[in-house]
Amino acid sequence: MNPSVEAVALDKAWRLLNHGPTVLVSACHEGVDNVMAAAWACALDFSPAKVTVVLDKSTRTRALIEQSGLFVLQIPTVAQAAMVHKVGHESLADHPNKLAEAGVELFRMPDYDQPMVDGCSGWLLCKVVDEPWNQAVYDLFIGEVVAAWADTRVFRDGHWHFEDADPALRSLHYVAGGRFYAIGEAIDVA
Amino acid sequence: MNPSVEAVALDKAWRLLNHGPTVLVSACHEGVDNVMAAAWACALDFSPAKVTVVLDKSTRTRALIEQSGLFVLQIPTVAQAAMVHKVGHESLADHPNKLAEAGVELFRMPDYDQPMVDGCSGWLLCKVVDEPWNQAVYDLFIGEVVAAWADTRVFRDGHWHFEDADPALRSLHYVAGGRFYAIGEAIDVA
Protein backbone atom coordinates (compact mmCIF):
# COMPACT_ATOMS: atom_id res chain seq x y z
CA MET A 1 0.00 0.00 0.00
CA ASN A 2 1.04 3.55 -0.77
CA PRO A 3 2.60 5.06 2.43
CA SER A 4 1.08 8.49 1.60
CA VAL A 5 -2.47 7.26 2.27
CA GLU A 6 -4.13 8.80 5.33
CA ALA A 7 -7.67 8.90 6.71
CA VAL A 8 -9.99 11.74 5.61
CA ALA A 9 -12.43 13.19 8.15
CA LEU A 10 -15.92 11.97 7.24
CA ASP A 11 -17.32 15.49 7.15
CA LYS A 12 -14.80 16.34 4.41
CA ALA A 13 -15.32 13.14 2.39
CA TRP A 14 -17.72 14.87 -0.05
CA ARG A 15 -14.82 16.97 -1.29
CA LEU A 16 -13.24 13.89 -2.85
CA LEU A 17 -16.18 13.74 -5.30
CA ASN A 18 -17.26 17.36 -5.55
CA HIS A 19 -15.33 18.13 -8.75
CA GLY A 20 -17.01 15.25 -10.60
CA PRO A 21 -14.31 12.64 -11.21
CA THR A 22 -14.95 9.31 -12.86
CA VAL A 23 -14.65 6.65 -10.15
CA LEU A 24 -13.87 3.00 -9.73
CA VAL A 25 -16.41 0.98 -7.78
CA SER A 26 -15.08 -2.06 -5.92
CA ALA A 27 -16.83 -4.71 -3.87
CA CYS A 28 -16.37 -8.18 -2.41
CA HIS A 29 -18.68 -11.01 -1.42
CA GLU A 30 -17.69 -14.47 -0.28
CA GLY A 31 -14.13 -14.10 -1.51
CA VAL A 32 -15.00 -12.69 -4.95
CA ASP A 33 -13.50 -9.24 -5.58
CA ASN A 34 -14.49 -7.02 -8.49
CA VAL A 35 -13.92 -3.50 -9.77
CA MET A 36 -15.85 -1.48 -12.35
CA ALA A 37 -15.67 2.09 -13.63
CA ALA A 38 -18.55 4.55 -13.16
CA ALA A 39 -18.94 8.11 -14.35
CA TRP A 40 -22.32 8.49 -12.65
CA ALA A 41 -21.28 8.88 -9.04
CA CYS A 42 -22.00 11.98 -6.96
CA ALA A 43 -21.97 13.38 -3.44
CA LEU A 44 -25.41 13.41 -1.79
CA ASP A 45 -24.91 14.75 1.73
CA PHE A 46 -22.29 16.36 3.97
CA SER A 47 -22.90 14.75 7.36
CA PRO A 48 -23.45 11.92 7.64
CA ALA A 49 -21.60 11.82 4.32
CA LYS A 50 -23.59 10.11 1.61
CA VAL A 51 -23.05 9.37 -2.08
CA THR A 52 -25.05 8.14 -5.05
CA VAL A 53 -23.83 5.80 -7.77
CA VAL A 54 -25.63 4.31 -10.77
CA LEU A 55 -24.95 0.57 -11.16
CA ASP A 56 -26.37 -1.25 -14.16
CA LYS A 57 -28.16 -4.53 -13.46
CA SER A 58 -25.82 -6.34 -15.85
CA THR A 59 -22.71 -5.66 -13.76
CA ARG A 60 -21.15 -8.29 -11.54
CA THR A 61 -20.03 -5.58 -9.11
CA ARG A 62 -23.67 -4.65 -8.47
CA ALA A 63 -24.47 -8.23 -7.52
CA LEU A 64 -21.57 -8.25 -5.04
CA ILE A 65 -22.81 -4.97 -3.55
CA GLU A 66 -26.37 -6.25 -3.24
CA GLN A 67 -25.06 -9.29 -1.38
CA SER A 68 -22.49 -7.60 0.88
CA GLY A 69 -24.21 -4.23 1.41
CA LEU A 70 -20.83 -2.50 1.02
CA PHE A 71 -18.84 -0.81 -1.72
CA VAL A 72 -15.84 1.44 -2.20
CA LEU A 73 -15.78 4.47 -4.52
CA GLN A 74 -12.23 5.45 -5.41
CA ILE A 75 -10.79 8.20 -7.55
CA PRO A 76 -8.39 6.91 -10.21
CA THR A 77 -5.57 8.96 -11.67
CA VAL A 78 -4.28 9.93 -15.12
CA ALA A 79 -1.65 7.18 -14.74
CA GLN A 80 -4.51 4.64 -14.54
CA ALA A 81 -6.57 5.74 -17.58
CA ALA A 82 -6.05 2.55 -19.61
CA MET A 83 -6.91 0.36 -16.61
CA VAL A 84 -10.04 2.40 -15.83
CA HIS A 85 -11.25 2.03 -19.40
CA LYS A 86 -10.57 -1.70 -19.37
CA VAL A 87 -12.40 -2.46 -16.10
CA GLY A 88 -15.24 -0.28 -17.34
CA HIS A 89 -15.67 -2.27 -20.55
CA GLU A 90 -15.11 -5.89 -19.55
CA SER A 91 -17.31 -7.90 -17.24
CA LEU A 92 -16.03 -10.42 -14.73
CA ALA A 93 -18.71 -12.75 -16.13
CA ASP A 94 -16.90 -12.90 -19.50
CA HIS A 95 -13.35 -12.24 -18.23
CA PRO A 96 -12.78 -14.25 -15.03
CA ASN A 97 -9.21 -12.93 -14.93
CA LYS A 98 -10.31 -9.36 -15.60
CA LEU A 99 -8.58 -7.64 -12.67
CA ALA A 100 -5.17 -9.24 -13.27
CA GLU A 101 -5.40 -8.60 -17.02
CA ALA A 102 -6.16 -4.93 -16.41
CA GLY A 103 -3.28 -4.63 -13.94
CA VAL A 104 -5.50 -3.88 -10.94
CA GLU A 105 -3.77 -4.33 -7.60
CA LEU A 106 -6.02 -4.47 -4.55
CA PHE A 107 -5.25 -3.78 -0.92
CA ARG A 108 -7.28 -3.73 2.28
CA MET A 109 -7.13 -1.27 5.16
CA PRO A 110 -6.81 -2.70 8.68
CA ASP A 111 -10.27 -3.49 10.13
CA TYR A 112 -11.99 -3.29 6.73
CA ASP A 113 -12.49 -6.29 4.47
CA GLN A 114 -13.34 -4.32 1.33
CA PRO A 115 -11.02 -4.35 -1.71
CA MET A 116 -9.45 -1.00 -2.54
CA VAL A 117 -7.58 -0.24 -5.75
CA ASP A 118 -3.93 0.65 -5.30
CA GLY A 119 -2.68 3.79 -7.03
CA CYS A 120 -5.91 5.77 -6.71
CA SER A 121 -5.93 9.19 -4.99
CA GLY A 122 -8.97 8.82 -2.73
CA TRP A 123 -11.26 6.10 -1.35
CA LEU A 124 -14.76 6.24 0.18
CA LEU A 125 -15.92 3.07 1.90
CA CYS A 126 -19.71 3.04 1.85
CA LYS A 127 -22.55 1.07 3.38
CA VAL A 128 -25.62 0.72 1.16
CA VAL A 129 -28.63 2.68 2.41
CA ASP A 130 -31.44 0.31 1.59
CA GLU A 131 -33.69 1.96 -1.01
CA PRO A 132 -35.17 -0.90 -3.05
CA TRP A 133 -37.30 1.37 -5.26
CA ASN A 134 -34.36 3.52 -6.39
CA GLN A 135 -32.21 0.45 -6.94
CA ALA A 136 -34.83 -1.39 -9.00
CA VAL A 137 -36.30 1.47 -11.00
CA TYR A 138 -33.30 3.78 -11.51
CA ASP A 139 -30.27 1.52 -10.82
CA LEU A 140 -29.48 4.22 -8.25
CA PHE A 141 -27.64 3.21 -5.08
CA ILE A 142 -27.21 5.45 -2.05
CA GLY A 143 -24.24 4.83 0.22
CA GLU A 144 -23.35 6.24 3.60
CA VAL A 145 -19.61 6.85 3.85
CA VAL A 146 -18.24 4.94 6.87
CA ALA A 147 -14.53 5.57 6.24
CA ALA A 148 -12.45 7.58 3.75
CA TRP A 149 -8.79 7.90 2.86
CA ALA A 150 -6.71 9.94 0.44
CA ASP A 151 -3.21 10.11 -0.96
CA THR A 152 -1.80 13.10 0.89
CA ARG A 153 0.45 13.94 -2.04
CA VAL A 154 -2.67 15.24 -3.83
CA PHE A 155 -5.45 15.57 -1.19
CA ARG A 156 -4.72 16.86 2.32
CA ASP A 157 -6.28 19.17 4.92
CA GLY A 158 -9.64 18.56 3.25
CA HIS A 159 -8.54 19.95 -0.14
CA TRP A 160 -7.27 18.71 -3.47
CA HIS A 161 -3.82 20.00 -4.42
CA PHE A 162 -3.71 19.05 -8.10
CA GLU A 163 -1.91 22.27 -8.95
CA ASP A 164 1.27 21.36 -7.09
CA ALA A 165 1.17 17.54 -7.33
CA ASP A 166 2.59 15.15 -9.91
CA PRO A 167 0.39 15.58 -13.05
CA ALA A 168 0.03 11.77 -13.16
CA LEU A 169 -2.09 12.06 -9.96
CA ARG A 170 -4.77 14.25 -11.56
CA SER A 171 -8.33 12.91 -11.69
CA LEU A 172 -10.01 11.53 -14.81
CA HIS A 173 -13.32 12.73 -16.24
CA TYR A 174 -14.75 10.32 -18.80
CA VAL A 175 -16.90 11.32 -21.77
CA ALA A 176 -17.31 8.40 -24.22
CA GLY A 177 -15.43 6.40 -26.82
CA GLY A 178 -12.22 6.06 -24.83
CA ARG A 179 -11.96 9.84 -24.30
CA PHE A 180 -11.17 11.15 -20.84
CA TYR A 181 -10.27 14.66 -19.79
CA ALA A 182 -7.78 15.19 -16.97
CA ILE A 183 -8.64 17.83 -14.38
CA GLY A 184 -6.91 21.10 -15.24
CA GLU A 185 -5.70 24.22 -13.51
CA ALA A 186 -7.06 25.87 -10.38
CA ILE A 187 -9.30 28.92 -10.63
CA ASP A 188 -9.85 30.88 -7.42
CA VAL A 189 -12.75 33.26 -6.94
CA ALA A 190 -12.59 35.66 -4.03
CA MET B 1 -28.65 34.51 -27.65
CA ASN B 2 -25.41 32.99 -28.81
CA PRO B 3 -25.77 32.03 -32.52
CA SER B 4 -23.60 28.90 -32.00
CA VAL B 5 -26.29 27.20 -29.88
CA GLU B 6 -27.87 24.13 -31.47
CA ALA B 7 -30.09 21.29 -30.26
CA VAL B 8 -28.46 18.14 -28.86
CA ALA B 9 -30.07 14.76 -29.58
CA LEU B 10 -31.72 13.56 -26.36
CA ASP B 11 -29.90 10.23 -26.46
CA LYS B 12 -26.60 12.15 -26.33
CA ALA B 13 -27.67 14.59 -23.60
CA TRP B 14 -25.96 12.54 -20.84
CA ARG B 15 -22.61 13.40 -22.41
CA LEU B 16 -23.03 17.02 -21.37
CA LEU B 17 -22.77 15.90 -17.72
CA ASN B 18 -20.64 12.78 -17.93
CA HIS B 19 -17.35 14.49 -17.08
CA GLY B 20 -18.76 15.89 -13.85
CA PRO B 21 -19.01 19.65 -14.35
CA THR B 22 -20.44 22.01 -11.76
CA VAL B 23 -23.79 23.22 -13.10
CA LEU B 24 -26.16 26.14 -12.80
CA VAL B 25 -29.76 25.25 -12.01
CA SER B 26 -32.40 27.67 -13.26
CA ALA B 27 -36.16 27.72 -12.86
CA CYS B 28 -39.19 29.97 -13.16
CA HIS B 29 -42.62 30.09 -11.58
CA GLU B 30 -45.25 32.80 -12.01
CA GLY B 31 -42.78 35.25 -13.46
CA VAL B 32 -40.04 34.74 -10.86
CA ASP B 33 -36.74 33.54 -12.37
CA ASN B 34 -33.86 32.24 -10.32
CA VAL B 35 -30.48 30.58 -10.81
CA MET B 36 -28.28 28.67 -8.34
CA ALA B 37 -25.04 26.72 -8.61
CA ALA B 38 -24.88 22.98 -7.86
CA ALA B 39 -21.91 20.64 -7.82
CA TRP B 40 -24.10 17.63 -7.01
CA ALA B 41 -25.71 16.97 -10.38
CA CYS B 42 -25.24 13.75 -12.34
CA ALA B 43 -26.51 11.76 -15.28
CA LEU B 44 -28.93 8.96 -14.31
CA ASP B 45 -30.04 7.33 -17.57
CA PHE B 46 -29.34 7.31 -21.30
CA SER B 47 -32.78 6.99 -22.85
CA PRO B 48 -35.05 8.48 -21.88
CA ALA B 49 -32.30 10.77 -20.63
CA LYS B 50 -32.51 11.44 -16.92
CA VAL B 51 -30.47 13.40 -14.40
CA THR B 52 -30.22 13.80 -10.64
CA VAL B 53 -29.56 17.02 -8.77
CA VAL B 54 -29.41 17.74 -5.03
CA LEU B 55 -31.35 20.88 -4.07
CA ASP B 56 -31.24 22.07 -0.47
CA LYS B 57 -34.57 22.94 1.12
CA SER B 58 -33.33 26.45 1.90
CA THR B 59 -32.94 27.42 -1.76
CA ARG B 60 -35.44 29.61 -3.56
CA THR B 61 -34.73 27.75 -6.82
CA ARG B 62 -35.98 24.51 -5.26
CA ALA B 63 -39.28 26.16 -4.36
CA LEU B 64 -39.68 27.37 -7.97
CA ILE B 65 -38.96 23.84 -9.23
CA GLU B 66 -41.44 22.26 -6.83
CA GLN B 67 -44.08 24.67 -8.08
CA SER B 68 -43.35 24.53 -11.83
CA GLY B 69 -42.15 20.92 -12.13
CA LEU B 70 -39.39 22.08 -14.49
CA PHE B 71 -35.74 23.08 -14.27
CA VAL B 72 -32.73 23.66 -16.49
CA LEU B 73 -29.24 22.31 -15.78
CA GLN B 74 -26.60 24.24 -17.65
CA ILE B 75 -22.84 23.95 -17.86
CA PRO B 76 -21.06 27.22 -17.08
CA THR B 77 -17.63 28.12 -18.41
CA VAL B 78 -14.30 29.33 -17.04
CA ALA B 79 -15.30 32.83 -18.15
CA GLN B 80 -18.26 32.64 -15.75
CA ALA B 81 -16.46 31.42 -12.59
CA ALA B 82 -17.08 34.55 -10.52
CA MET B 83 -20.77 34.60 -11.49
CA VAL B 84 -21.18 30.88 -10.67
CA HIS B 85 -19.66 31.41 -7.23
CA LYS B 86 -21.88 34.42 -6.59
CA VAL B 87 -25.19 32.77 -7.55
CA GLY B 88 -24.11 29.74 -5.50
CA HIS B 89 -23.59 31.77 -2.34
CA GLU B 90 -26.37 34.34 -2.34
CA SER B 91 -30.06 33.58 -2.01
CA LEU B 92 -32.79 35.43 -3.87
CA ALA B 93 -34.54 35.65 -0.49
CA ASP B 94 -31.80 37.98 0.83
CA HIS B 95 -30.73 39.50 -2.50
CA PRO B 96 -33.85 40.30 -4.57
CA ASN B 97 -31.58 41.73 -7.28
CA LYS B 98 -29.24 38.73 -7.18
CA LEU B 99 -29.22 37.85 -10.87
CA ALA B 100 -28.55 41.36 -12.11
CA GLU B 101 -25.86 41.90 -9.48
CA ALA B 102 -24.11 38.67 -10.51
CA GLY B 103 -24.29 39.65 -14.18
CA VAL B 104 -26.59 36.76 -15.16
CA GLU B 105 -28.28 37.23 -18.53
CA LEU B 106 -31.21 34.94 -19.24
CA PHE B 107 -32.73 33.88 -22.55
CA ARG B 108 -35.53 31.56 -23.57
CA MET B 109 -35.65 29.11 -26.46
CA PRO B 110 -38.69 29.26 -28.76
CA ASP B 111 -41.53 27.07 -27.39
CA TYR B 112 -39.93 26.79 -23.92
CA ASP B 113 -40.70 29.20 -21.10
CA GLN B 114 -37.78 28.22 -18.91
CA PRO B 115 -34.95 30.67 -18.18
CA MET B 116 -31.56 29.67 -19.58
CA VAL B 117 -28.27 31.34 -18.66
CA ASP B 118 -26.48 33.02 -21.56
CA GLY B 119 -22.81 32.20 -22.04
CA CYS B 120 -23.01 28.59 -20.81
CA SER B 121 -21.84 25.74 -23.05
CA GLY B 122 -24.74 23.29 -22.65
CA TRP B 123 -28.33 23.24 -21.38
CA LEU B 124 -30.61 20.37 -20.31
CA LEU B 125 -34.27 21.27 -19.88
CA CYS B 126 -35.78 18.79 -17.44
CA LYS B 127 -39.20 17.80 -16.17
CA VAL B 128 -39.29 16.66 -12.53
CA VAL B 129 -39.99 12.95 -12.11
CA ASP B 130 -42.19 12.97 -9.05
CA GLU B 131 -40.35 11.11 -6.25
CA PRO B 132 -41.57 12.71 -3.02
CA TRP B 133 -39.53 10.40 -0.75
CA ASN B 134 -36.22 11.20 -2.45
CA GLN B 135 -37.04 14.90 -2.49
CA ALA B 136 -38.03 15.04 1.18
CA VAL B 137 -35.45 12.68 2.70
CA TYR B 138 -32.39 13.24 0.49
CA ASP B 139 -33.10 16.60 -1.23
CA LEU B 140 -32.60 14.51 -4.37
CA PHE B 141 -34.52 15.48 -7.51
CA ILE B 142 -34.78 13.33 -10.62
CA GLY B 143 -35.41 15.05 -13.94
CA GLU B 144 -36.24 13.65 -17.35
CA VAL B 145 -34.48 15.65 -20.07
CA VAL B 146 -37.08 16.96 -22.53
CA ALA B 147 -34.77 19.18 -24.60
CA ALA B 148 -31.04 19.91 -24.74
CA TRP B 149 -28.78 22.37 -26.49
CA ALA B 150 -25.07 23.09 -26.67
CA ASP B 151 -22.66 25.71 -27.93
CA THR B 152 -21.27 24.03 -31.03
CA ARG B 153 -17.95 25.82 -30.58
CA VAL B 154 -17.23 23.39 -27.74
CA PHE B 155 -19.80 20.53 -27.98
CA ARG B 156 -20.86 19.09 -31.33
CA ASP B 157 -21.60 15.70 -32.90
CA GLY B 158 -22.30 14.37 -29.42
CA HIS B 159 -18.81 15.16 -28.08
CA TRP B 160 -17.02 17.85 -26.13
CA HIS B 161 -14.17 19.54 -28.00
CA PHE B 162 -12.44 21.36 -25.15
CA GLU B 163 -9.03 20.59 -26.62
CA ASP B 164 -9.52 22.79 -29.70
CA ALA B 165 -11.95 25.40 -28.34
CA ASP B 166 -11.33 28.75 -26.67
CA PRO B 167 -9.97 27.93 -23.15
CA ALA B 168 -12.56 30.33 -21.72
CA LEU B 169 -15.24 27.78 -22.75
CA ARG B 170 -13.88 24.97 -20.56
CA SER B 171 -16.12 23.58 -17.84
CA LEU B 172 -15.74 24.34 -14.13
CA HIS B 173 -15.39 21.75 -11.37
CA TYR B 174 -15.96 23.22 -7.91
CA VAL B 175 -14.31 21.99 -4.74
CA ALA B 176 -14.87 24.44 -1.86
CA GLY B 177 -13.79 27.83 -0.55
CA GLY B 178 -13.98 29.60 -3.92
CA ARG B 179 -11.69 27.02 -5.56
CA PHE B 180 -12.69 25.63 -8.96
CA TYR B 181 -10.65 23.48 -11.32
CA ALA B 182 -11.06 23.94 -15.07
CA ILE B 183 -11.28 20.80 -17.16
CA GLY B 184 -7.87 19.95 -18.61
CA GLU B 185 -6.41 18.11 -21.54
CA ALA B 186 -7.83 15.14 -23.44
CA ILE B 187 -6.56 11.62 -22.73
CA ASP B 188 -7.49 8.96 -25.29
CA VAL B 189 -7.42 5.26 -24.51
CA ALA B 190 -7.60 2.86 -27.43
What domain range includes position A92? Answer: 5-182
Q: Contact, B77 vs B168, CB < 8 A?
A: yes
- Domain membership of residue A155 (yes or no) is yes
Q: Tell me, what's the pLDDT at B92?
A: 85
Mark yes or no for CB contact A185/B181 under 8 Å.
yes
Q: State pLDDT tens for residues A151-170.
A: 999 999 999 999 999 999 99
Mark yes or no for CB contact A183/B184 under 8 Å.
yes
Q: State pLDDT tens for residues B15-54.
A: 999 999 999 999 999 999 999 999 999 999 999 999 999 9
Minimum CA–CA partner of A139 in chain B? B44
Minimum CA–CA partner of B155 in chain A? A175
Q: Tell me, what's the pLDDT at A190?
A: 77
Mark yes or no for CB contact A177/B159 under 8 Å.
yes
- Domain membership of residue B190 (yes or no) is no
- Domain membership of residue A187 (yes or no) is no
Q: State pLDDT tens for residues A82-123.
A: 999 999 998 888 899 999 999 999 999 999 999 999 999 999
- Inform me whether the pLDDT recorded for B135 exceeds 80: yes
Position B103 confidence tier, pLDDT thresholds 50, 70, 90? very high
Q: Tell me, what's the pLDDT at A150?
A: 98
Q: Tell me, what's the pLDDT at A93?
A: 85
- Domain membership of residue A137 (yes or no) is yes
Question: The CATH number of the domain where B162 resides is what?
Answer: 2.30.110.10
- Nearest C-alpha neighbor of B121 from the set B13, B14, B16, B1: B16
- Inform me whether the pLDDT recorded for B1 exceeds 80: no
- Domain membership of residue B43 (yes or no) is yes
Burial class (CB in 10 A: 0-12, 13-18, 19+), A29: middle
- Domain membership of residue B61 (yes or no) is yes
- Domain membership of residue B187 (yes or no) is no
Total structural domains within chain A: 1
CA–CA distance from B6 to each of A19, B70, B121, B123 (Å)?
27, 21, 10, 10
Minimum CA–CA partner of A19 in chain B? B173
Q: Report phi then psi at A60, rounded to 5.
A: -70, -35
How many CB pairs lie under 8 A apart between chains A and B?
155
- Domain membership of residue A189 (yes or no) is no
Q: State pLDDT tens for residues A24-59.
A: 999 999 999 999 999 999 999 999 999 999 999 999
How many whole angstroms from its chain centre is CA B94?
22
Lowest mean pLDDT among A135-139, B7-11, B92-96, B125-129: B92-96
